[in-house]
Amino acid sequence: MTMNKNNLTPKKKNEITEKQSSPIQEIKQTGKDVLQVAVNDEQLMKALGSKDENFLYGLLEQIVNAGTRGRSFDGKGVEFMLSVVKGINPKDQVEAMLASQMAAVQMATMTFARRLAHVENIPQQDSAERAFNKLARTFVAQMEALTRYRGKGQQKMTVEHVHVHQGGQAIVGNVNQEGGGVKNEK
């Protein structure tokens, strides 16, 4: 199935207002297994959350490899993956790598969803269902990992019951206490 902007459901194609420019300016296949990718460095840095050229081009190469199907090249998969990464808005290299993995898992999940919808026998159904289920659970785990990483492990504790016995003291509210080191007073 081929889709383009003219096939979209909004009444007019210009109802799609949020057109974000891609870091990729041009992708063309120059040989059997060779792609030439022209990028806007500034947009690529912003999309991937890093200014390290080795990281940027290394991750971009991985995205291009993961976003292509077989030997024939179609830039839509690469553009989709970069759009997912850009939408996650990574703040550093770890987030960019996790976002790239999430994009790859999303593509694989939808591939297996398509296979599951078109199975011809029970073994194909079982195989596609297992892969689809594992990929979908992996995506959820990746989302949770991103949330934990962005929170940097901050935890919140809520105390619901406090018992104060006779002669005891309790403080209700936010309590900030400095570290328990020894102060040198001169």
Asked if the structure places residue 63 within a domain, the reply is yes
Q: Which residue has the higher pLDDT, 56 or 175?
A: 56
Mind listing the pLDDT tens digit for each residue in 96-121? 999 999 999 999 999 999 999 999 99
Asked if the structure places residue 73 within a domain, the reply is yes
Q: Which residue has the higher pLDDT, 36 or 83?
A: 83
Structural domain including 56 reads 21-151
What are the start-end ranges of the H helices in the chain?
Answer: 41-48, 53-67, 75-88, 93-117, 122-151
Structural domain count of the chain: 1
Residue 85: C-alpha distances to residues 51, 92, 96, 172, 184 (Å): 16, 12, 7, 43, 51
Confidence class for position 30, pLDDT limits 50, 70, 90: confident
Asked if the structure places residue 143 within a domain, the reply is yes
Q: Is 17 helix (H, G, I), strand (E, B) or coil?
A: coil
Mean pLDDT of the chain: 82
Structure confidence at residue 17 (pLDDT): 45
Asked if the structure places residue 109 within a domain, the reply is yes
Asked if the structure places residue 39 within a domain, the reply is yes
Token pair belonging to 152: 């940097």
